[in-house]
């Protein structure tokens, strides 16, 4: 059995919450951070989680990384079709980070700058890479991670579901260990709260999802913030 906590908040500045998240019982977890004018971001992220859910419910297990990636591809088509059919939705897109657990393995598929973290033996590791412009600069050595955190273009994505011609989906699996804790979150958390503080909250909070949201809000809450925390027994 796993302990699951989830929470989302519009934040202190924005008027709409363009994030969507879903827990598909028993052990699939999805966060999505939509973008686009007016309400398009909300439509994109909601379409993502609903399409992924419908796809997975129709697909027999194991829900491995290939299946998760197929679910994202299906959502990609649906979102880009919607964007083509309605000019209010033109250019909309969403991040997608999906984690699936079975007895032995963790599988993930990922597009964008939402993140999957794993806390294991008091070590917090960011499992996913951000598909952002500044992250490419960091990897090339042109920016330090500290510079990237405050860079004016840090919100520019190079990959988004529904919004680019051809999406590239990161996908992999790794063995699960007892005591592992997983965090899926949107950038409304990671732009406000550093990894060290996230780790402390995961280690100590009664309800880590609520505590992470609270930390993002205390730090300014400049963006929508969504988190799912999964503790493996």
Q: Which is nearer to Ca ion, 33 or 180 (CB)?
A: 33
The least distance separating Ca ion from the CB of residue 105, rounded to whole angstroms, comes to 29
The least distance separating Ca ion from the CB of residue 33, rounded to whole angstroms, comes to 4
65 touching Ca ion, by CB under 5 A:
no
Q: Which is nearer to Ca ion, 11 or 176 (CB)?
A: 11
Tally of CB atoms within 10 A around 208: 23
130 touching Ca ion, by CB under 5 A:
no
Q: How far apart are CA 135 and CA 156, in angstroms?
A: 10
Residues 161-190, interacting with Ca ion (CB under 5 A)? 186-188
Residues 16-45, interacting with Ca ion (CB under 5 A)? 33
214 touching Ca ion, by CB under 5 A:
no
113 touching Ca ion, by CB under 5 A:
no
223 touching Ca ion, by CB under 5 A:
yes
Residues near Ca ion (CB under 5 A): 33, 186-188, 223
């Amino acid at each position: 059995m796993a302990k699951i906590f989830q929470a989302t908040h519009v934040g202190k500045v924005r008027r709409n919450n363009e994030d969507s998240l879903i827990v598909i019982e028993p052990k699939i977890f999805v966060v999505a951070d939509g973008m686009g004018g007016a309400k398009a971001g909300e439509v994109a992220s909601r379409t993502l989680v609903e399409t992924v859910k419908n796809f997975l419910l129709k697909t027999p297990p194991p829900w491995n990384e290939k299946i998760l990636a197929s679910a994202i591809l299906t959502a990609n088509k649906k979102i880009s079709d919607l964007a083509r059919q309605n000019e209010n939705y033109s250019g909309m897109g969403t991040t997608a980070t999906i984690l699936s657990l079975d007895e032995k393995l963790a599988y993930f598929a990922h597009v964008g700058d939402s993140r999957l973290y794993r806390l294991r033996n008091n070590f917090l590791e960011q499992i996913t890479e951000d598909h952002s412009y500044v992250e490419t600069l960091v990897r090339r050595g042109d920016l330090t991670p500290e510079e990237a955190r405050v860079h004016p273009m840090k919100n520019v994505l190079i990959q988004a579901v529904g919004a680019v011609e051809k999406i590239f989906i990161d996908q992999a699996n790794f063995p699960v260990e007892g005591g592992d804790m997983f965090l899926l979150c949107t950038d409304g958390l990671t732009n406000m709260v550093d990894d060290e503080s996230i780790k402390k909250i995961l280690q100590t909070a009664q309800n880590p999802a609520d505590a992470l949201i609270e930390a993002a809000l205390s730090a300014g809450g400049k963006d929508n913030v969504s988190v799912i925390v999964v503790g493996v027994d």
